[in-house]
Amino acid sequence: MKLFAKYNRFNIIATIFTFMVGSIAFYFVMHYILIRQLDESLHGEQQEIHEYVEIHQQLPEIQNTRHQWVTIEKTNEQIHKRRIISYDFYNEHEREFQSVRQLQFNLNVNNTLYLVKVNKSELETEDILKLMVLVTIGMIALILFLNLLINRKIISRLWQPFYHTVNAVKDYQLNDRKPFLLPAEPIDEFNLLNETLNHLMQNISRDYQVLKAFNENASHEMQTPLAVIRSKTELLLQQTEWNEEAVKQVLGIEDGIRKLTRLHQSLLLLTKIEHTKFEFNEPVTISTLIQQKLEEKQELFESRHITLETHILPLTIPFHPHLAEILINNLLSNAIKYTPVHGYMHITADAESIVFRNTAANGPLDAGKIFQRFYKAEQNQEGIGLGLSIVHEICRIGGFRIEYSYEKDQHIFTIYFKNNP
Amino acid sequence: MKLLIIEDEHTLNQSMAAFLTASGYICESAMDFHSALQKIEVYEYDCIILDLMLPGGSGLELLKHLKENNKTDGVIIISAKDSLHDKIEGLQMGADDYLTKPFHLSELSVRVASIIRRKQFNGKSVITLGDIEIDTVAQTVQIKGTMLELTQKEYQLLLFFVINKNRVISKSAIAEHLWGDDMDMASNFDFIYAHIKNLRKKITVAGGEDPIKSLYGVGYKLQSS
């Protein structure tokens, strides 16, 4: 729910509540005033009748109207001063119940006691009150309507800078060498937001650049000493030829260098994939690439007696040729590595996805961890645990989706070219 | 055969020079951009081993200079920069090969030999070692006139040994030469053993003397008399 919709909900409830309470209070006040007015006009009638009797010493001729009528009858009942009552009666003429205000008082004409009842219909009062209720409802409706209008037009315009900022943050990539700069805004809150974000992004960007430069330099600086060590061991090997123990020691060093070099190259590649903006716009024929990699690794299949089955449809997608090769190579190497001798491997490729299935030796892998760096199913493995991280990273920047599942004693890696399930 | 090794890391420069000198080349060294430029301008080399990051300038500048002056020296770039961009740029500018640090000296030696063979126009494409004759253009091997039926890997392996004759070669250097560095090493070592076994068999069946010597099961050496 949008902030304003939430705010508006409270606002509307409060408005309606205020108007209701106000209207009810207003109704009673108005009712009280109108009844008092009615009573006063009844008193006025009483006054007039009294004056008439005083002057003429006889009962007045009464002109009854629809809203006011007077009855005079003889009585023995003595009313102290006067009394006022309200009552409802059924008006045959208008076919509805009507509230009537009645003033009763005694009249003494020539020593005869009369009871005078002056009736006034409350119809007008009710009409006024009805009108008031209508006006109130109308006002609430008008306010709600105006609120809606303000919400639609003005508020969305007022919030424009906010959405602009959010989009700018969403679209920003640290890899872009463009500086992150949000414009100054006339509204204080948005301006504060933009200034704070600008400041934050500048700091992040600077730290990122420093870290990136450090990573790159450190990696490159490491390569030369590695080359020195490797060349020296090779020279040493020539001189220790007749000493078996020495040859074995030197080759131990050599093996260490080899592992370190592979690790280093994989890390460099990962860093590069993360930090470089690769364009996925060259058509790469995945089907041919898979065939080519299968041929390269034929020896491995043969030596491990792996039965290979493929269903590869011709498939060309926009990709980065170098990354595509790494992707297929790593997936294939990984599958071979985890297939036991006399195992089975199945590769399918079509326009939607590539699927690598292979016999599993030791049950399912931890799906939550396999794409993490340096994750190894078994600690004593030859691999360095970066192959699948690289695959994952390539999929991420290419907008592909990679999934691992385990079914019928088989590891299944699927790459969907369209990210959406 | 004269080589120029342009590399600012002193010990690495020395190692390369020592290894290549032992392989029969005459090696000169340059440690920075300007001394390298002077040497390039004055002398002709069969092959130049060129590092890209040098004190005083870029190796690519030297390459540009060579090409602008129509020098025919072969050039092999050795760089710490693993970036594809540099590799493509270097090869487009006329370098003959590209090696990423850290490399095996035996690998460097094979690449240098290959460049020199390609640069020589006198048709000397046959390498002879004892009974073995390798035609590097036709990629065929003969022993005492008998043609050997070698697979691609066996041919590559034999050439690698012949170029690095009388040198101890580790299994990992062979594996990297044959398969690059992206394959599972443990299983590659078994393949090396199998390939070498086949190669020896083919040589002896053809009447040749098996020149490959195994060193304690960890390395190999091709012995030539």
Q: What is the DSSP string of A128-167?
A: HHHHHHHHHHHHHHHHHHHHHHIIIIIIHHHTHHHHHHHH
pTM given for the model: 0.66
Positive/negative CA dihedral, A198, A201, A203, A205: negative
A216 vs B167: which has the higher pLDDT: B167
- List of residues 6+ apart from A192 with CB closer than 8 A: none
Q: How far apart are CA B103 and CA B220, in angstroms?
A: 18
Which pLDDT belongs to residue B120?
74
- What confidence score (pLDDT) does residue A212 get? 79
User: With 70 as the cut, is the pLDDT of residue A52 above it?
Assistant: yes
Q: How many CA atoms lie within 13 A of A269 on its CB side?
A: 23
Residue B119: pLDDT band with limits 50, 70, 90: confident
Q: What percent of chain A is predicted at pLDDT more than 90?
A: 8
Is the previous residue joined to B102 through a cis bond, with omega within 30 degrees of 0? yes
What's the pLDDT score for residue A160?
A: 87
Q: List all residues 6 or more positions away from A144 whose beta carbon is below 8 Å from its beta carbon.
A: A12, A15
Strands (DSSP E) contained in B52-201 are 53-54, 57-58, 74-79, 97-100, 126-129, 132-135, 140-143, 146-148, 168-170
Instruction: Place A399 in a pLDDT band, splitting at 50, 70 and 90.
Output: confident
On the question of pLDDT at B102 being above 90, the answer is no
When pLDDT is cut at 50, 70 and 90, the band that residue B186 belongs to is low
Whether residue B88 is predicted with pLDDT greater than 80 in this model: the reply is no
Give the model confidence (pLDDT) of B22-54 as tens digits. 988 999 999 999 999 999 988 889 899 998 888
Q: Say whether pLDDT at B134 is over 70.
A: yes
pLDDT band at A281 (very low <50, low <70, confident <90, very high): confident
Inter-chain CB proximity B190 and A268 less than 8 Å:
no
Are residues A258 and B172, on separate chains, in Cβ contact within 8 Å?
yes
pLDDT value of residue B81? 64
CA atoms within 13 A on the CB side of A373: 8
- Evaluate if residue A125 carries a pLDDT over 90: no
pLDDT over threshold 80, residue B182: no
Higher pLDDT, B221 or A377: B221
Residue ranges of E strands in B83-153: 97-100, 126-129, 132-135, 140-143, 146-148
Pick the closest to residue B95 from B116, B117, B75, B118 (CA basis). B75
CA pair distance A45, A68, nearest whole angstrom: 10
- pLDDT at residue number B187: 67
pLDDT for A106 beyond 80: yes
pLDDT of residue A363: 78
Q: How confident is the model at residue B123, as a pLDDT?
A: 57
pLDDT band at A194 (very low <50, low <70, confident <90, very high): very high
Interface of A with B in 333-352 (CB under 8 A): 333, 336-337
Mean confidence (pLDDT) of chain A: 84
| pLDDT band at residue B191 using 50, 70 and 90 as cut-offs | confident
The verdict on ipTM greater than 0.90 is: no
Q: Does A385 have pLDDT greater than 90? A: no
Is A275 part of the contact surface with chain B (CB cutoff 8 Å)?
A: no
pLDDT score for B29 = 94
Centre a 10 Å sphere on the Cβ of residue B91 and count the other Cβ atoms it contains. Answer: 14
**pLDDT score at A397:** 84
- Weakest-pLDDT range from A28-37, A312-321, B77-86: B77-86
Strongest mean pLDDT among A7-11, A128-132, B21-25: B21-25
Split at pLDDT 50, 70, 90, the class of A232 is: very high
Which of chain A's residues have a Cβ under 8 Å away from the Cβ of B182?
Answer: 329, 333
* From B80, B186, B218, residue closest to A220, measured CB to CB: B80
Interface of B with A (CB under 8 A): 9, 11-12, 15-16, 18-19, 22, 78, 80-84, 100-106, 167-168, 170-173, 179, 181-187, 190-191, 215-216, 218-219, 221
Contact flag B181-A235 (C-beta cutoff 8 Å): no
Q: Does A272 touch chain B (CB under 8 A)?
A: yes
* Residue B19, pLDDT score: 92
Tell me the residue type at A283: P
User: For residue B211, is pLDDT > 60?
Assistant: yes
Examine the pLDDT at A133 and tell me if it is beyond 60.
Answer: yes
According to DSSP, the residues that pair with A121 across neighbouring strands are A100
pLDDT of residue A2: 75
* Reported confidence tier of residue B192, pLDDT bands at 50, 70, 90: confident
CB distance from A257 to chain B under 8 Å?
A: yes
Task: Report whether pLDDT(B160) > 90.
Answer: yes
pLDDT value at position B50? 92
pLDDT of residue B15: 93
Quote the CA–CA distance of B128 and B146 in Å, as a whole number.
14
pLDDT interval class at B82 (50, 70, 90): low
pLDDT at B17 (0 to 100):
94
In the predicted structure, residue A129 carries a pLDDT above the cut 90 = no
Range B95-99, long-range pairs (CB < 8 A, 24+ positions)? B95/B50, B95/B63
| Contact call for A255 and B172, based on CB within 8 A | yes
- Cβ atoms of residues A106 and A115 within 8 Å: yes
Residues 35-74 of chain A with CB under 8 A from chain B are: none
- Closest partner residue to B218 among A221, A224, A248, by Cβ? A248
